[in-house]
Chain A
Amino acid sequence: MAAHSAVLSMSKIINPFWGGRLGNTVKVFGTSLTSSRNRHTPPPAKYGGRHTVTLIPGDGIGPELLNHVREVFRFSCVPVDFEVVHVNSAMESEDDINDAITAIRRNGVALKGNIETQHTMAPSVKSRNNLLRTSLDLYANVMHCQSLPGVQTRHKNIDIMIIRENTEGEYSSLEHESVPGVVECLKIITRNNSLRIAEYAFRLAREKGRQRVTAVHKANIMKLGDGLFLQCCREVASGYPDIKFDAMIVDNTTMQLVSKPQQFDVMVMPNLYGNVVSNVCAGLVGGPGLVPGANFGRDYAVFETATRNTGKSIADRNIANPTAMLLASCMMLDHLKLHDHATSIRNAVLITMNETRLHTADIGGQGTTSEVVQSIMRLIQSKGQLTSEL
């Protein structure tokens, strides 16, 4: 943003005569300058210093958890305004989800709860979450699983980053009944997308100082499909000699994860295996209420809980764990470059989890959601930052 305006003013100095009429060229130069500087440039939905973020409440525990997020943001005076877009999962028409997608295109960033897919409806009514991901081309799903000292688990010292291809693979939703009683479902693997996700994984690994990237596949059975994925990963790996690369078959991976999860560092994989592995890892560190997830595309970013649960059975009972959603909102704040706010909320959440040990039912405690949120807000206030009333 700053670079853009700098380039504009530069052009006015250099060419006072042509100033206004060089608009297009400047825009081209401007965007190339800004994009080469940082691939996660904050989106331009910013007015008066306040960002606008699309909020999709979803179903189940989504609405109540996102309300808590808004409460915490309002309390900490975070300069973010939410544009709420409701998506009705019971409706067959796709207008709702298309409106949501337009809103995200406008704002660039979104925070969402999971939208339920009622598979009793006709197969032509596709999963709304999947539609969102493919329309916005959110090709990378990133999840960071870390053991938290305050949570009792069977395995300790887990620190795994999972990067999952988010748009193709088994989730292409291309199915047909060729003969009555025989259904074919297509799994698509493309070279471009595999290269893209592998590139993302290695770049992220380098940025975070990680040593090893493991590709998870089933190329012994799906020789062409996963074989292509593996080949692309190897190609990209050759460009990052400082990072070790190895591959592991998915069933062996799950076996290793439940016996020795500490051996894994960064993992990259196609869509379905990503679903399995990310849920296994989330279970290993303490459950679905603890891990945040992010979906990144070239131009958009959508943040949500990592395991994408609707949580219908615990909805509206004030027992859901707000940690995952709050940590996801902190990831969003980091993406918007509001690092101070992100750190203060994150610290408050982690202190409540690890030191105060105020836990909700899913991790063995007795606290309610509101108690946990109140404790977090009190901690934020005690750190001396600007807050509104409790």
Chain B
Amino acid sequence: MAGKAWRSAILNHLRKWGLSVSGEDKIKAKEVSLVVGALKKEPPLPRTFSRGIQTVTLIPGDGIGPEISAAVVKIFEAAQAPIQWEERNVTAIKGPGGKWMIPPDCKESMDRNKIGLKGPLKTPIAAGHPSMNLLLRKTFDLYANVRPCVSIEGYKTPYDDVNLVTIRENTEGEYSGIEHTIVDGVVQSIKLITEDASHRIAEYAFEYARNNQRASVTAVHKANIMRMSDGLFLRKCREAAEKHKDVKFTEMYLDTVCLNMVQDPSQFDVLVMPNLYGDILSDLCAGLIGGLGVTPSGNIGANGIAIFESVHGTAPDIAGKDMANPTALLLSAVMMLRHMGLHGHAKKIEASCFDTIRDETVRTGDLGGNSKCSEFTEAICQRVRDMD
């Protein structure tokens, strides 16, 4: 019957994308929590997905970028992930009209593939153009920065029960870049909060929570001081909460969140906040689990675009010396696999990575060992191959 066929087709699709309706193929909350993706009205997944090899734009970046990208490509090969990489370079070029932009072939590639993986990009100090990350953000309207922070079992930090996600508004707020010197010695910086952007990020946060079986969303704000701006943000979050009654909604002051975060991070689930607080809090949470060298991150943009990246710097002092730690980029790539629905491969690669770190025999310098990047990569590849 048409109805039943339709229903089973939907169930099949859901199962393929990693969500289940029945009990037995319920994916563990921890895994699903690393999925970045919202089932919106238009399918966010690229069309070529279900037919086999998926093309992903790879931006190696600068400094240690090329080495860690190569490491990730190698590991994916060993895991036989159905991913085809399209390498592109981003160096700012001046387009017609004098505006700085990214190379058109990169833009075209991203628009086609919809999914990207990016290494660290350096920001030249006196180049005259804004930072590359900012350019990418503006070009693809990357409005949400998602950083899941989960304690890594193999890497000991004073905090071992962290399992939260920070969702940060990425386009406006304090980072609008509007500043002027009113009088000599008095500088004014403008923080912009708009209804549209706040609405968008609030909606995204609740959809994310719903799709990843997260129980609650907490809005972080300072509305006691910044009444109108954070008040607007809070209002939009409340409105979104009304529409998503299955997810619990709380609001907390920024200082209370900071205070409680360093005492007991396990009480937090999904945090949504404007730009500046998001910047500080997401780095604080990254510090809780071990630093930027092990933290994955994803940026969601309009039109279904998603760029996953490692958030550490280019580390020019160790570039080219085979000393870099590819964990951050690898975990971001795993996040990307989950976003695309390739949970089996994601699980395999993530488990191999964590096992290798837990093993402690092959660790790069920043994790306290003295192995080379290639050795670490090889160890992970070996584990992946052994898993098959």
A283 CB contact (under 8 Å) in B190, B226, B259, B279: B259
Least CB separation from A260: chain B residue? B287
Q: How distant is the Cα of A78 from the Cα of B283 in the complex, in angstroms? A: 46
Q: Is the CB of A309 within 8 A of B256?
A: yes
Q: Is the CB of A188 within 8 A of B188?
A: yes
Which of chain A's residues 186-215 have a Cβ closer than 8 Å to chain B? 186-192
| B1 proximal to A (CB < 8 A) | no
Q: Is the CB of A255 within 8 A of B259?
A: no
Which of chain A's residues 136-195 have a Cβ closer than 8 Å to chain B? 154-155, 170-171, 173, 175-177, 180-192
Interchain nearest-CB distance for A162 vs B (Å): 13
Of the stretches A272-280, A352-360, A369-377, A378-386, the one at the interface is: A272-280
User: 1/0 per residue B21-55: CB within 8 Å of A?
Assistant: 00000000000000000000000000000000000
- Chain B residues with CB under 8 Å of A185's CB are 190-193, 226, 228-229
Of the stretches B175-183, B208-216, B323-331, B370-378, the one at the interface is: B175-183
Which of chain B's residues 268-293 have a Cβ closer than 8 Å to chain A? 276, 279-280, 282-284, 286-288, 291-292
Q: Is the CB of A254 within 8 A of B287?
A: yes
Chain B: interface size category: 35 or more
Interchain nearest-CB distance for B324 vs A (Å): 19
B231 CB contact (under 8 Å) in A119, A180, A258, A307: A119
Known interface pairs A187-B189, A188-B188. Does A154 touch B194 (Cβ–Cβ under 8 Å)?
Answer: no
B283 CB contact (under 8 Å) in A183, A189, A255: A255
| A257 proximal to B (CB < 8 A) | yes
| B224 proximal to A (CB < 8 A) | yes
| A11 proximal to B (CB < 8 A) | no
| A244 proximal to B (CB < 8 A) | no
Q: Is the CB of B228 within 8 A of A259?
A: no
| B388 proximal to A (CB < 8 A) | no
Interchain nearest-CB distance for A185 vs B (Å): 4
| B3 proximal to A (CB < 8 A) | no
Q: Chain A: interface secondary structure?
A: mixed
Query: How many residues on A have C-beta within 8 angstroms of the other chain's C-beta atoms?
Result: 58
Q: How distant is the Cα of A268 from the Cα of B192 in the complex, in angstroms? A: 26
B226 CB contact (under 8 Å) in A154, A170, A280: A170
Q: Is the CB of A182 within 8 A of B192?
A: yes
- Chain B residues with CB under 8 Å of A288's CB are 259
Interchain nearest-CB distance for B156 vs A (Å): 12
Q: Is the CB of A175 within 8 A of B229?
A: yes
Q: Is the CB of A189 within 8 A of B189?
A: yes
- Chain A residues with CB under 8 Å of B288's CB are 258
| A228 proximal to B (CB < 8 A) | yes
Q: Is the CB of A123 within 8 A of B291?
A: no
Least CB separation from A225: chain B residue? B189
| A387 proximal to B (CB < 8 A) | no
Least CB separation from A122: chain B residue? B227
Least CB separation from B251: chain A residue? A119
Of the stretches A44-52, A216-224, A316-324, the one at the interface is: A216-224
Q: How distant is the Cα of A183 from the Cα of B232 in the complex, in angstroms? A: 8
Q: Is the CB of B225 within 8 A of A280?
A: no
Q: How distant is the Cα of A18 from the Cα of B261 in the complex, in angstroms? A: 67
Could you write out 5 A-B pairs with CB less than 8 Å apart? A183-B228, A186-B191, A251-B279, A256-B287, A284-B262
Q: What residues make up the interface of B, taking CB atoms closer than 8 Å to A? A: 157-159, 174-175, 177, 179-181, 184-196, 222-229, 231-232, 234, 254-256, 258-263, 276, 279-280, 282-284, 286-288, 291-292
In the A-B complex, list the 3 residue pairs whose CB atoms are closest, starting with the nearest. Answer: A255-B287, A191-B185, A251-B283
Q: What residues make up the interface of A, taking CB atoms closer than 8 Å to B? A: 117, 119, 123, 126-127, 130, 154-155, 170-171, 173, 175-177, 180-192, 218, 221-225, 228, 250-252, 254-259, 272-273, 275-276, 278-280, 282-284, 287-288, 307-309
